[in-house]
Amino acid sequence: MTDLNTWFDKGMTRYAYIHSMKTHKENLLTIYNSFVLPEPMKDALQGLQQNRLRAIVITEDWCGDAMLNLPVFMRMADEALIDIRFILRDQHPELMDRYLTAKAKSIPVIIFIDEKGKEIVKWGPRAPKLQQIVEERKKKIPSKEDPRYEKAFKLFADRISSLFTTDHALWEEVSLDIIKKLLAKLNVNSL
């Protein structure tokens, strides 16, 4: 089993990942360039700088959840001085298998580590409110055996992508969920 420092070293930098993207690149950059962290969150994130955290993100550029979560997280990482490395899920199943969510390969998964490579906390693939929205909307899709499934799923994916790239409240929901989980694990009461 490869340790997390080794995975961090193997990962792509933020810029290498963005430049390699073939899908959702424009949407990711739109969110990144538009998202503004609330002042109390900036203060809390700046308070984390002394922890010298790093993050490994398991992702794929075709993933709608990654399209939303990663630019929000990148803004957060800017404030907290968290160095990020990106690992592509489909090229590294051995890492993904360690971070399965409910026996699924759901992404993105953000693994926060300390300087020694010890896992602090894992986050992903969705904030609870987003999970609820996705589950509600998926109820309207016919089963995979239904001939209407492909068309209905594409429509669902297009509408979710549109919602994810325009609803600023969802962006804030993601940032709050990430920071609350991180602060709780670090035993910090700030926010």
Taking residues 36-62, report their average pLDDT: 93
Distance CA 119, CA 139 (A): 35
Where b means 16+ CB within 10 Å and e means fewer, 134-155 reads beeeeeebeeeeeeeeeeeeee
Distance CA 41, CA 39 (A): 5
pLDDT of 73-82, one tens digit each? 999 999 999 9
Amino acid 120: pLDDT? 94
Q: Tell me which amino acid residue 6 is.
A: T
What percentage of the chain reaches a pLDDT higher than 90? 79
Backbone angles phi, psi at 119, to 5 degrees: -65, 130
Amino acid 190: pLDDT? 63
Q: Helix %, strand %, coil % for the chain, to 5?
A: 60, 15, 30
Query: Is residue 55 within 8 Å of 77, Cβ to Cβ?
Result: yes
Amino acid 106: pLDDT? 87
Report residue 1's pLDDT band, with 50, 70 and 90 as the boundaries: very low
pLDDT of 128-184, one tens digit each? 999 999 999 989 899 999 999 999 999 998 899 999 999 999 999 999 999 999 998
Q: Tell me which amino acid residue 4 is.
A: L
Amino acid 98: pLDDT? 87
pLDDT of 21-34, one tens digit each? 999 999 999 999 99
Specify the DSSP element, H or E, that contains 67.
helix 64-80
